[in-house]
Structures are given as structure tokens and as C-alpha cells.
Amino acid sequence: MGTACAILIGLTIQAAAAERAQYASLGDTTRAPIGWVEFCADNPADCRSGATHPRDIVMSQTAWKDLVRVNRWVNESVKPMTDMDHWGVIEKWSYPTDGYGDCEDYVLLKRKMLVEAGWPREALLITVVRDKKGDGHAVLTVKSDKGEFILDNQNEEILPWTETGYRFVKRQAQNDQNTWVSLGDNRPAVATATAR
């Protein structure tokens, strides 16, 4: 069950936040992760700009079952492969249409499936974290009336963000998917790989 996930991120924010294992107050806007702009150029319909209203979903039993189903299906259907092995480049965000991908590709597919099922995009936020090893990793944050939950290719279980053991670095803003906000971990990331 190994997957590699290479993600390049660069941040310079306050050093005091580096050791917190929780969200800081939503902070300043920051650069999009490397690969997002190119993904949007290739998939403009999936990256429409413009301010919207933040929306959380109501976490009903049906909604929870949808999350579990999508998370499990994508995790089982996509085979892990680094972008270097797959595309010959360090970082490339893409849908895993050929059945292979790394962490952000899993996230993109999960988000797409949920949006197509009628979920509001504003409740589905691509999020950059540092995993338990300190490596860069992408997950999907689902904002709900019951809290924020993480869909992750490294974990079959959907967890509240506070139980992941991750350090949260940045994520999409709820009101504009092309705006990214810092979340508190200021250590600059380099190309990293994580195992599933």
C-alpha cells in the first residue's frame, strides 16, 4: 500500500506558528501550490474564478456515506505513482484518468466526484499539509456543520482535521478556489515523497 506524493510548496510566514499541530487563524493569502496554476490552465472549467459565498455542508448520514464511498473508491481505484515516474516532472497536478497518480491527483478526483454529485465546491477545499514524517502532502478538507473532515489517500478512515497528526500549511479559500490562505506551518517545503 505504498504511494509516493511529490509536492513543492514555498512559504515564508511567522516562525512561531511552525510547531503548532493545528490550524492557525486563517491568515494571509499565499501562493498557490506548484502545479495548481498549470492544472487550471489545462482544466479551466474546474478552476472558475470569482468570489462566492462560503458554504458548509450538513453532515447527514447520507452525506457521510457519500464521503466514505468516494474516499474508498478513489483510494482503491488509483494506483500510487510519483509525478517523476508518471510524467517525468517533479510536480504535475492532473486527474488520474489512466489509473495512476499522487496525492493531489487523488484529491482532485475526490473533489470532482463530490462536486458532480451536487456538493458545493466551497465546502471542498484542497489543503496542503505536512504529514507525520514532515513531508509535503495534499488532502481534501470537507467543511461541515459538524466540523472539518479530511479525505486522504494515506488513510482509509475519514478523520476530523485535529486527529490526523498533520501540520496544516495552506488551503483554498472558501469564497474563491483560486485564492490560497496560509494556515500556520511556515517551514519551507521542498520536493518530498510520502508513503501511503
What would the pLDDT profile of 155-189 be if each residue is shown by its tens digit?
999 999 999 999 999 999 999 999 999 987 554 44
Specify if 166 maps to a domain: yes
Specify if 2 maps to a domain: no
Q: What is the DSSP letter of 50?
A: S
Specify if 3 maps to a domain: no
Specify if 134 maps to a domain: yes
Q: Number of folded domains in the chain? A: 1
- Regions in the chain scoring below 50 on pLDDT: 1-25, 187-196
pTM above 0.85, yes or no: no
What would the pLDDT profile of 1-13 be if each residue is shown by its tens digit?
333 343 333 332 2
Q: What range defines the domain where residue 132 resides? A: 15-44+51-182
d(CA 90, CA 132): 21
Which pLDDT value is given to residue 186? Answer: 52
Q: What is the CATH number of the domain that holds 141?
A: 3.10.620.30
d(CA 129, CA 170): 7
Specify if 6 maps to a domain: no
Give 51's contacts (C-beta < 8 A, 6+ positions apart). Answer: 175, 176
Specify if 22 maps to a domain: yes
Specify if 162 maps to a domain: yes
Which pLDDT value is given to residue 28? Answer: 83
Which pLDDT value is given to residue 13? Answer: 26
For 71, phi then psi, to 5°, come to -60, -50
DSSP H/E element including 138 = strand 136-144
Specify if 176 maps to a domain: yes
Which pLDDT value is given to residue 107? Answer: 98
Which pLDDT value is given to residue 161? Answer: 95
d(CA 64, CA 58): 10
